[in-house]
Structure 1
Amino acid sequence: MFTMLFLITLIIHCRPGPCFLNSFNFPHHSPIRSLLRPSKKRTGKPTKQPRNTRIKNSTMDAADEEEEEEQAGHHQEQRHYRQSHRIQGRSTTEQPDDSDNSAASARWCGLMRRAFASLIPAAFLLGDQLPSPPTRVHHVWPGKNVFFLDGRVICGPDPRGLILTIISVVLSEWIFVTDIVDPSSKHPVLISAISVTLAAAVIATLLLTATRDPGITPRNQASPSPEAGAGASTTAGGRIRSRRVVINGVVTKLKYCRICRSFRPPRSSHCAVCDNCVDRFDHHCPWISQCIGQRNYRFYLLLVTLALAFYAYTLAFSARRIRGRLDAASAGVFSLMRALPETFALAAFSFLAVCFLACLLTFHAFLVAINQTSHDLYRDRYSNSPNPYNKGSLNNIKECLLVRLPPARVDFRALVEEPSG
């Protein structure tokens, strides 16, 4: 930002007229002061010299004349410098250090020439480089997630499913407003407003679910020892496989993740798409391009509910419009399909979406009631043992929807400690 401001200021002040460097209080004897003075057009008349420095040798060549003129101008600047210090009440007996002034002036001249020649950044003009940004956890995280806003937004590695879902919602809403809503019907503005509100709520919930940390667990830098923890089982080569713990009176096996180099928390699993262990892992949703876990599961349920309401609303008004046109016209269904292709396409798509979302919402409502995940049900984990997390339907619903979410287990914005030595 500082470099951009400097370049803009430099461009503005580099137009014809006084140079912006005149605002600096350079010494009168400095070469920069002579460089900043506007150049005068050389005329054919010789410059009048002081009496004590008048040239006596009339055969001097042109080079000697120019050197004598520069010396005379330097003497004149010295006299002007002494007069200015005498007016300010300073002593004229003090002489500046010519070696220090010449070295400083040379450095300034070199910097000014490079600045005007190549427009170097302001940091180099000031002699200091801007510090590099600090390294945070999301910069070196080994998973496949994509981070935005300096680690505040976490997305899946493949955004195509998310983009396709957003396009389908926006396109459905556009067809609904332009083709389905009849301006001559009752309350067309209200019908459109409800549809737009539902579509906006679906997209907002979709983005909230897709950009939230699903419950990623931290990784270990080194593998634990084979005898780490009580009840740990190992392979023939001495590698840890699992460990048994007791949860609510039920013995539960915790598996060891070789990628994360740690024991997985209860009900967690390693996602092969995102390459992370996720707490209370349910599934990886391809339509959202994100894992569904403990910290975004309730937003996923809200998304499914809102999407079902949106497409049911769209399907109802699409069917109403088709039925009205069939009653008004004597043509058949196929003729009406050729006359209203957008309406029939939206009705068919909405019907499929309603069927899919209704089945999906019913399935997850069942999982919430028994306090299981899709991954638990798919693995059939509690077929031979009781579910230690089942506390009854009401308590299960309360735990899933009303209990405060735990904080993120990985702070992706935390600074990475530099290795010592």
Structure 2
Amino acid sequence: MAKRVYEVWKGSNKFFLGGRLMFGPDARSLLITLLLIIVPVVIFCVFVARHLRHEFSPYNVGYAIFAVAVAFTVYVLVLLLLTSARDPGIVPRNAHPPEEEFRYDTSASVEIGGRQTPSLQFPRTKEVMVNGIPVRVKYCDTCMLYRPPRCSHCSICNNCVERFDHHCPWVGQCIGLRNYRYFFCFVSSATLLCIYVFALSALYIKILMDDHHGTVWKAMKESPASVILMAYCFISLWFVGGLTGFHLYLISTNQTTYENFRYRADNRVNVYDRGCLNNFLEVFCTKVKPSRNNFRAFAQEAPRATLPPTREVEIEDVGEDRRIKVEDDLDIGGDLLKISQRHNIEDIEADIRSRGSDVIHHNSSEADSVLGSDRRAPTVQAETRHSSRGRRSESWEIAPEVLGMNSNIVESRGHATSKEAYQ
């Protein structure tokens, strides 16, 4: 049965509802974020807003405090879901490296099974034009592609993400081209929610002071929940409020968090800055690009990467020639080995006569001329001792260069040399 794309996804993402929702590998941290939002709002509605509704009874305005708190919380949660449960702008991986960038390095070839396979080399970077200015992009070994400008590979999600800003553990997802707008709205809305809860909690403390004609300490004892909420919201404002201000600066200058931290000290020219107004319009008023991945589609088997046909033919031809040559060399080596094992001169001469007339008619001068014309020609050396009882062969040595020669030529050279050695 064919599998869908999300079932064979090579990244570290987690999918739910049949691939309709996509989260990062640290999606569990999203539960902590939900608790940090929902629990304070529930405490606010139960211990603060419930008492404040009677303070504006003539116009029933007090009930609006409930409605605004609930609506604001739902809005923040929806933005959180849009940020963390969607494709942030993942660039699909290639099934094989880009063939147009193949470059063969013959000096670094690897020998496998008697064949030399050229190693494939890729330029690590290449330049593309952005607003008339050349920008260097890098090659990703994991995704086997040249990353588009402003794209980076997230080591946590194991994906290349367009306009990569950062990986946020609080939302359990990368922040990129397709969810940066929702991420900023989530952070800024969370900031406003903190301000709203803090302000109304402080207002309730003020009302308690006026009703009981007491000090602030007495009012705080009357409503400890308000004190806790004020402290919680004050601490939270340092985080979400500071993050909102920082991203306002990034949007106004058309930067990402990744670019700001990495290239801050390089004093590079920002080729993406189009002016403050246009930068804001680019983030908030442009249409969100559709995802380049269809996670619910049926996965197709990727074709295997193959070398160009001309290259294969050359490698096959070399391999065939080497196999034929090795077989000839084995035959030649076997014949000469038999000759070298002879210990009687008469057996050698008898063996020479049985070879045939075409070998017998070769004389020593012809063999010498052939041997002299080829420096790599195999040689058969005989060491002899002269004694009163006759001539006797002591040892025979076969040169290792015997491989690669034609068997008839080697036999004739061996016979000629053997005759010459005993003359």
Structure 1-normalised TM-score? 0.62
Question: Aligned to 1:163, what secondary structure does the other structure show?
Answer: helix
- Contact 2:102 2:122 survives alignment (8 Å): no
Residues 245 and 252, structure 1, Cα contact 8 Å, conserved in 2 = yes
Is 1:185 aligned to 2:68, yes or no? no
Identical-residue share of aligned pairs (%) = 39
Q: 1:258 to 1:338 in 2, by over 3 A?
A: farther
* Paired position in structure 2 for 1:172: 40
The separation in 1 between residues aligned to 2:295 and 2:166, in whole angstroms, is: 22
Q: Could you tell me which of 48, 63, 70 is aligned with 1:196?
A: 70
Which residue number in structure 1 is paired with residue 166 of structure 2? 283
How many residue pairs match? The answer is: 283
Distance apart, 1:340 and its partner CA: 2.9
Kindly state the Cα deviation for residue 159 of structure 1 after the two structures are TM-superposed: 2.0
**Match in the other structure for 2:300:** 417
User: 147, 152, 160: which one pairs with 1:269?
Assistant: 152
| Corresponding position of 1:371 | 254
Map Cα deviations across residues 52-101 of structure 1 (whole Å, 9 max, x no partner): xxxxxxxxxxxxxxxxxxxxxxxxxxxxxxxxxxxxxxxxxxxxxxxxxx
Q: Partner of 2:420 in structure 1?
A: none
Among candidates 199, 216, 221, match of residue 316 of structure 1: 199
C-alpha distance in 2 between matches for 1:201 and 1:227: 48
- 1:357 pairs with 2:225: no
Find the aligned partners of 2:303 and 2:158 in 1 and give their Cα distance.
29
Q: What amino acid maps onto 2:160 in structure 1?
A: C
Query: Which residue of 2 is the match for residue 213 of structure 1?
Result: 87
Whole-angstrom distance in 1 between the partners of 2:302 and 2:288: 34
1:348 is aligned with what amino acid? A
Kept in 2, the 8 Å contact 1:226–1:239? The answer is no
Matched, 1:253 2:121: no
Letter in 1 for 2:92: P
2:276 is matched with 393
Find the aligned partners of 2:244 and 2:302 in 1 and give their Cα distance.
49
Tell me the CA shift for residue 358 of structure 1.
2.1
* Residues 219 and 162 of structure 1: CA distance in aligned 2, closer, same or farther (over 3 Å): same
Cα distance in structure 2, aligned partners of 1:352 and 1:419: 51
Please state whether the residue corresponding to 1:255 is helix, strand or coil: strand
Contact 1:226 1:240 in 2 (8 A): no
Tell me how far apart the structure 1 counterparts of residues 153 and 124 of structure 2 sit (CA, whole Å): 15
Moved more, 331-340 or 188-197: 331-340
Partner of 2:30: 162
Hey, what's the Cα distance between the residues in 2 that align with 1:391 and 1:184?
Answer: 52
Letter of the 2:238 counterpart: C
- 1:355 to 1:420, Cα distance in 2 relative to 1, 3 A: closer
Q: Is the 8 A contact 1:217 1:276 kept in 2?
A: yes
Bigger shift: residues 379-388 or 258-267: 379-388
Q: Is the 8 A contact 1:283 1:293 kept in 2?
A: yes
Instruction: Provide the C-alpha distance between the structure 2 equivalents of 1:142 and 1:335, rounded to a whole number of angstroms.
Output: 60
Aligned-partner Cα distance in 2 for 1:273–1:245: 27
Note closer, same or farther for the CA distance 1:408–1:388 as it changes in structure 2 (3 Å cut).
same
SS in 2 for 1:362: helix
Distance in 2, Cα, partners of 1:382 & 1:406: 32
Distance 1:381 1:279, change over 3 A: farther
Say whether the 8 Å CA contact 2:102–2:120 is kept in structure 1. Answer: no
Judge conservation of contact 1:136–1:412 (CA < 8 Å) in 2: yes
Larger CA deviation: 276-285 vs 185-194: 185-194
Q: Which segment is superposed worse, 378-387 or 197-206?
A: 378-387
Contact 1:250 1:386 in 2 (8 A): no
Question: What runs of 5+ residues in structure 1 fail to find an aligned partner?
Answer: 1-131, 230-235
Cα distance, 1:314–1:274 mapped onto 2, change above 3 Å: same
- Asked whether the equivalents of residues 213 and 408 of structure 1 are also in contact (C-alpha less than 8 Å), the reply is yes
Which stretch shows the higher mean deviation, 159-168 or 276-285? 159-168
Change (3 A) 1:245 1:312: same
Do 1:209 and 1:299's aligned partners in 2 also have CA atoms closer than 8 Å?
yes
CA distance in 1, matches of 2:286, 2:154: 25
Question: Given that residues 137 and 411 in structure 1 are in contact (C-alpha distance below 8 angstroms), is that contact kept between their aligned partners in structure 2?
Answer: yes
Q: Structure 2: any 5+ residue segments left out of the alignment? A: 104-118, 305-423
Moved over 6 A (4+): none
- Displacement after TM superposition at 1:418 (Å): 4.5
Shift of 1:327: 4.3
Match of 2:3 in 1: 135
Match of 2:69, as an amino acid? S
Partner of 1:85: none
Residues 369, 420 of structure 1: alpha-carbon distance in 2 compared, 3 angstrom cutoff? closer
Matching residue's letter, 1:408: S
Letter in 1 for 2:80: L
Deviations for 1:310-332, whole angstroms, at most 9, x for unmatched residues? Answer: 11110100111123334445766
Cα deviation, 1:116-172, whole Å, max 9, x if unaligned, reads: xxxxxxxxxxxxxxxx4x311111111111112222211111223211111122111
**SS of alignment partner, residue 416 of structure 1:** coil
| Pairwise CA distance, 1:193 | 0.7
Offset from partner CA, 1:209-248 (integer Å, 9 cap, x none): 111110001111223469459xxxxxx9945321122211
The alignment's TM-score, normalised by the length of structure 2, stands at: 0.62
2-side partners of 1:329 and 1:355: how far apart? 33
CA distance in 2, matches of 1:420, 1:195: 55
Map 1:38-53; keep pairs closer than 5 Å. none
Match of 2:181 among 280, 294, 298: 298
Q: What is the alpha-carbon distance in structure 2 between the residues aligned to residue 342 and residue 248 of structure 1?
A: 55
* Structure ranking higher in strand proportion: 2
User: What letter is aligned with 1:184?
Assistant: H
Task: Give the 5 Å matches for 1:3-42.
Answer: none
